[in-house]
Each structure stands twice: as C-alpha cells, then as structure tokens.
Copies of this chain bind each other. A is one copy, B any other.
Amino acid sequence: MIRSASWQFLWVGLLALSGAWADEVKHGTLVTEQLTSSILAENRIGLNTTRGIKVLLPPGYAESRKSYPVVYFLHNTWWSPEQMFREGHAVKLLERGFAKQVVKEFIFVVSDYTTPTTGSIYENSPVSGRWLDFTVDELVPFIDERFRTLPHRNSRAVVGDFFGGRGALKLAMVHADVFSVAYALHPVATGNGSSAWTFLQIDWPKIHQAKSFDEVGSDGRTRLFVTISQAFLPNLDRPPFYCDFFMEMKDGQPTLHVENTRKTKAGFLLEETLNESAANLRTMRGLALDWGRFDMTYPHVESNRTFSRLLEELGVDHEAEEYRGGPWDRLWTDDGRFYARVLPFLERHLVF
C-alpha cells in the first residue's frame, strides 16, 4: 500500500499508529477441547460422543481482559475440523483479517461433526444424532463457560460451507434466539432445483439389500441418501439403518413412496419450512448466503436462487451473491469468499 521508500521513520510512525497496513500479522492461539455429549448418546450409527473442538483464540485474547464474540463454523459433511485447518487456511485468513482490520477480533470455534457414515447434515434425528440440539444445548454453553465470550445472540454467529452452510441457515431458522448472524457458504439442500426425485441416481437395490452401511458401497449420492433417510424418516424398528426410504421396494422394483417422499423433502429442503421460520429470520442481525455458479450439481445453484427469492418475498433482509466459481475453489483463497465476504459481514453485523 505504501510505495515511497523514503521517510522511513514516518513509516514506522504510521505502523505504530496502526500495524494493520504493514502486513504485520499477530498470531492467535489454536486450542483443541474435548466435549462429551449426552445428547449425541441417542443414536443408532455408533457416534463417538466425545467430540473434538478446535478453538482459535484471537491474537489479543491472552493479554486482554475483554470478552469476545464467537463465530461457530460448521464444516461440510466430508470434512473435519482437522482437514479444515489443514487445507482451509482458516487461521492464516483470520489472522490477516484481524490484522488488516477487516474485522475486529472474535473467537472462532469448529466442532467435530463427523460420523461413521457421511457426517452430520445438521439435523436432529433419533437415529443419526440430534446435532442441532448438541450445538445449541451443549456446544454453545461449553464454549461460553470455558472462554471469555460475549454470551449473547448479538455476539454469536454461525458460518458453514456446503452442508455446513445448510446447517448455518437451519440454525438461523430455528435458533435465532442463540445466533443473530449467519453466513452460509455455498449451502445445499435449500431447495430442490430442476431434478425430479424419481430420477435421482441412487442405487436403491443396493441400499435395500445392504446389511450394513459398508455394503451401501462407494457412490456418494447413494450413501448420502441413507443419511438423509435416517434424519427425516427414522424408524427405530427397522434395522440395519433404522429408517424408511422415499423409494421402497415393491415387486422387486424401487418404487416411489409418496408420503415418505413428502416427508423427506419437507425436512431436508429448507425452503419447505421457510414460511414457518420467517419470523425468526427477520430478527437476524445479519443473514447471508453465497454460492458458485459452476457447481456441477446444478440444482444447488437453482435452489439458492429460489431461496433468495423466497426470503425476499417473506420480507427477510439478507444478502445472496452468486459468484464465478465452483463450490470450493473460491472459499479459502487469499481474496476468497471467507476473507473478502464473510469477515466484513461479521464486522458489520456482530456486536463486539
């Protein structure tokens, strides 16, 4: 930013005034905590109830006495906190954002939402875990107890990407009492898009024959729809998956089960419960979603466009930007969505 080479002392003087402009970045402290959940004990998929939680304390935390807002990050289904910090450059971007005064300091929390199956899709289910309850009733109090937080919705944000983006929106929809700021990075399952559920390429015979989750095989969508079924069609009397399915076998053929389809869509697709949660959403201090238009699963793109329209028509203030890129390539880059959009958004809307 500063091009002149002379007047070095003045330059130093400026630095003294504000280190931000000189790329002098201070480091935060990354700690890992363990939380043993009671809520997650209720499940049929073998969840580990002891969850690792990564917490980045901002650079000024150690030396100050002040309390900080907390930003909860919900990682995507196939990720973990470890992967996220390894590949996502979160620490680097956060520290730079703090240093450059893009955003004031906050505590950044990433809990572990992995499962033995495809990971949390950020729902409550007696079969696959009550992840929303876990977040609100165990994780948030745990953090507020252990760290110097501003323990109020005004100073609490939830951010997530892909399925975690869905989670961020869902929490805003049902727990605006806990979070007042939400930013969903390329959320999925906000709606449906053009593809018909009867044509989703899911290997139903394999699901219906499988004796365990392993036998479902490696196809991503097929695996995912077991998880989705466990979330929205729980049936504790039906091993091995303890759920029903929106396609059931009939005369040896996968056949649309209308009522199960309706239920699954009603639970899975966020737009289906938007009317009911609009009042909550209107209380948000800040609500945003964004997504890359080149997601090869085009319904993700279409759904988010529709979701934005529905929010608009419900009088819910929000931002909704569709950008050049795919679901992940612009997230953690130096001037990517996390740095250039999420951080300033938190700055604008959180109470520090």
Residues in A lying within 8 Å of B, measured CB to CB? 1-7, 10, 14, 17-18, 21, 192, 194-201, 256, 258, 261-262, 265, 275, 278, 293-296, 298-299, 301, 305-306, 308-309, 312-315, 318-324, 326
The residues of B that contact A258 with a CB separation of less than 8 Å are 278, 314-315
Q: How far is the CA of A18 from the CA of B305 in the complex (A)?
A: 40
Q: Do the beta carbons of A195 and B320 come within 8 Å of each other?
A: no
Q: How far is the CA of A256 from the CA of B7 in the complex (A)?
A: 46
A198 touching B312 in the complex, CB below 8 Å, given contacts A18-B17, A322-B321, A324-B320: yes
Q: Do the beta carbons of B261 and A313 come within 8 Å of each other?
A: yes
14 contacts between A and B (CB under 8 A): A1-B2, A2-B2, A194-B293, A194-B298, A194-B306, A195-B298, A195-B309, A197-B312, A256-B315, A294-B312, A318-B324, A319-B323, A321-B321, A322-B323
Q: Do the beta carbons of B199 and A326 come within 8 Å of each other?
A: yes
Q: Do the beta carbons of B326 and A294 come within 8 Å of each other?
A: no
Q: Do the beta carbons of B309 and A294 come within 8 Å of each other?
A: yes
A198 touching B262 in the complex, CB below 8 Å, given contacts A21-B1, A308-B293, A323-B321: no
List 10 A-B pairs, minimum CB-CB distance, nearest first.
A322-B322, A199-B294, A320-B324, A196-B294, A258-B315, A298-B298, A196-B312, A197-B313, A196-B309, A321-B321
Q: How far is the CA of A199 from the CA of B300 in the complex (A)?
A: 15
| Closest-CB distance, A317 to chain B (whole angstroms) | 9
| Closest-CB distance, A315 to chain B (whole angstroms) | 4
Closest residue of B by beta carbon distance from A200: B296
Which one of A10, A201, A265, A324 has the greatest number of beta carbons of chain B within 10 Å? A324
Q: Do the beta carbons of A194 and B21 come within 8 Å of each other?
A: no
| Closest-CB distance, A157 to chain B (whole angstroms) | 19
Q: How far is the CA of A315 from the CA of B196 in the complex (A)?
A: 11
Q: How far is the CA of A299 from the CA of B296 in the complex (A)?
A: 10
Q: How far is the CA of A6 from the CA of B261 in the complex (A)?
A: 49
The residues of B that contact A315 with a CB separation of less than 8 Å are 256, 258, 261
Closest residue of B by beta carbon distance from A315: B258
The residues of B that contact A21 with a CB separation of less than 8 Å are 1
Q: How far is the CA of A42 from the CA of B180 in the complex (A)?
A: 49
Which one of A1, A4, A293 has the greatest number of beta carbons of chain B within 10 Å? A293
Q: How far is the CA of A331 from the CA of B216 in the complex (A)?
A: 30
| Closest-CB distance, A129 to chain B (whole angstroms) | 27
| Closest-CB distance, A46 to chain B (whole angstroms) | 31
The residues of B that contact A4 with a CB separation of less than 8 Å are 2-3, 5
Q: How far is the CA of A296 from the CA of B193 in the complex (A)?
A: 11
With A199-B295, A320-B323 known, 8 other A-B pairs at CB within 8 A are A2-B3, A4-B5, A17-B18, A195-B309, A196-B309, A197-B312, A298-B299, A322-B322
